[in-house]
């Protein structure tokens, strides 16, 4: 935990005492990290008092960029996202600036967490960028709230890969999931990756969308057993309507689908793809969607996108190309892969029966 001080305009996080000569208002608590970011929970400090103007920062998440990423700045991506999405469609975020000594202190703490075996092993030796002092402040969407349920999901590739074979029986997401699950057969129900087909989710067909919603409920472990106000079936119907017809959820998925096509029309196998655009398309294929709904079924369902900030691009083009080759050459797209007899062949994809022989 790192003690810090907040400042209002422009939003900034300062080290304790340096500027204000007073006790810290907040602590930054390590929450989790991915390939490109470290997330901190902002908590009130035990001794300090919080300026009323800063109370809204408490319990929010602060997302800071790692230094292993491309030169595309948080600020530039922030503007790209704002240009492509309505503010009501994305998880509200605020750009803040951190004092360099806060970043130094957090990096020292990361080293300590690494020595203590707390950081994930695949993230070792990764630190927060000291060049880009911008951070993003955002609400913790999964924080418990009475009467409100939240499911986090990844819409993934809402279109087939532009370079998939024409006779594919799996979309890009299902082909990769089939490969991942086959390579790690110890993964059982709940541990398997991606149990629904994104093309079914965006199909605008109730019969295909409802099973996806049921799978989301199972994997998110959302239960309405003790909910007297609204049955689970009614909520599943509500969510199915949200992702079909004129539902707002389908509108948002279609927008995401259009942007995935716009930023990557040709795939990673092209001679000289625009790496910045391709990276943004990959971000759009790996972003999260938070679905919020109330237990009484009376309030409208809400969906917001998150994790839209830049993915690392270094070494990624060769990774994306190699993966596309493996999915094609090993038969994961066409369903002609070699799999152990003990395993059932993965037939989750919408294309499986449509393009079946």
DSSP character at residue 312: P
Q: Which lies closer to Zn ion via its Cβ, residue 136 or residue 197?
A: 197
Q: Which parts of 115-174 interact with Zn ion (CB under 5 A)? A: 171, 174
Nearest distance, CB of residue 148 and Zn ion, angstroms: 30
Binding map of Zn ion across residues 165-194, x = CB under 5 A, - = no contact:
------x--x--------------------
Residue 342 burial by CB count (10 A; 0-12/13-18/19+): exposed, middle or buried? exposed
User: What strand order describes the sheet that includes 302-306?
Assistant: 148-153, 288-294, 302-306
Name the one residue in this structure whose structure tokens are 């472990």. Answer: 221
Distance (Å, rounded) from C-alpha 164 to C-alpha 334?
Answer: 9
Minimum Å gap between C-beta 124 and Zn ion is: 34
For residues 144 and 356, which CB has a smaller minimum distance to Zn ion in the complex? 356
Q: How many residues bind Zn ion (CB under 5 A)?
A: 4
User: Can you tell me which of 12, 197, 212, 213 binds Zn ion, judged by CB under 5 A?
Assistant: 197
Interactions with Zn ion, residue window 330-349 (CB under 5 A): 349
Nearer to Zn ion by Cβ, of 171 and 281: the residue is 171
Pull the structure tokens for residue 226.
Answer: 């003790």
SS3 content of the chain, % helix, strand, coil (to 5): 35, 20, 45
Residues within window 303-332 making contact with Zn ion, judged by CB under 5 A = none
User: Least separation, in Å, of the C-beta of 189 and Zn ion?
Assistant: 19
What is the Cα–Cα distance from 193 to 86, expressed in whole angstroms? 30
Is residue 202 close enough to count as binding Zn ion by CB under 5 A?
A: no
Cα-based angle 58, 309, 139 (whole degrees, multiple of 5): 20
Residues of the shown chain interacting with Zn ion in the complex, contacts defined by CB under 5 A:
171, 174, 197, 349
């Amino acid at each position: 935990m790192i003690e810090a001080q907040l400042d209002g305009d422009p939003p900034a996080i300062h080290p304790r005492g340096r500027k204000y000569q007073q006790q810290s208002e907040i602590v930054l608590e390590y929450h989790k990290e991915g390939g490109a970011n470290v997330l901190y929970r902002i908590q009130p400090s035990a001794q300090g008092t919080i300026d009323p103007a800063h109370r809204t920062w408490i319990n929010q998440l602060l997302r800071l960029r790692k230094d292993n990423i491309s030169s595309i700045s948080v600020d530039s991506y922030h503007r790209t996202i704002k240009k492509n999405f309505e503010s009501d469609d994305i998880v509200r975020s605020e750009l803040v600036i951190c004092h360099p000594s806060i970043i130094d202190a957090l990096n020292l703490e990361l080293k300590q967490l690494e020595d203590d075996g707390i950081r994930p092993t695949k993230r070792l030796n990764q630190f927060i960028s000291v060049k880009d002092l911008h951070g993003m402040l955002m609400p913790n969407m999964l924080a418990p709230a009475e009467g409100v349920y939240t499911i986090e999901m990844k819409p993934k590739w809402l279109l087939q890969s532009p370079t998939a074979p024409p006779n594919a029986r799996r979309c890009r997401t299902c082909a990769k999931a089939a490969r991942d699950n086959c390579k790690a057969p110890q993964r059982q129900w709940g541990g398997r990756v991606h149990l629904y087909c994104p093309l079914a989710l965006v199909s605008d067909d109730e019969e295909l969308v409802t099973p996806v919603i049921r799978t989301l409920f199972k994997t998110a472990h959302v239960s309405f057993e003790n909910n007297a106000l609204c049955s689970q079936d009614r909520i599943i119907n509500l969510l199915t309507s949200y992702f079909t017809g004129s539902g707002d959820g389908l509108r948002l998925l279609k927008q995401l689908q259009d942007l995935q096509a716009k930023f990557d029309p040709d795939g990673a196998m092209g001679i000289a793809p625009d790496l910045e655009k391709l990276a943004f398309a990959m971000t759009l294929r790996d972003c999260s969607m938070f679905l919020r709904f109330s237990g009484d079924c009376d309030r409208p369902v809400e969906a917001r996108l998150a994790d839209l900030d830049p993915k690392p691009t270094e070494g990624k083009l060769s990774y994306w190309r190699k993966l596309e080759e493996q999915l094609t050459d090993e038969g994961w797209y066409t369903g002609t892969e070699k799999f152990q007899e003990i395993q059932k062949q993965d037939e989750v994809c919408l294309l499986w029966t449509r393009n079946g022989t």
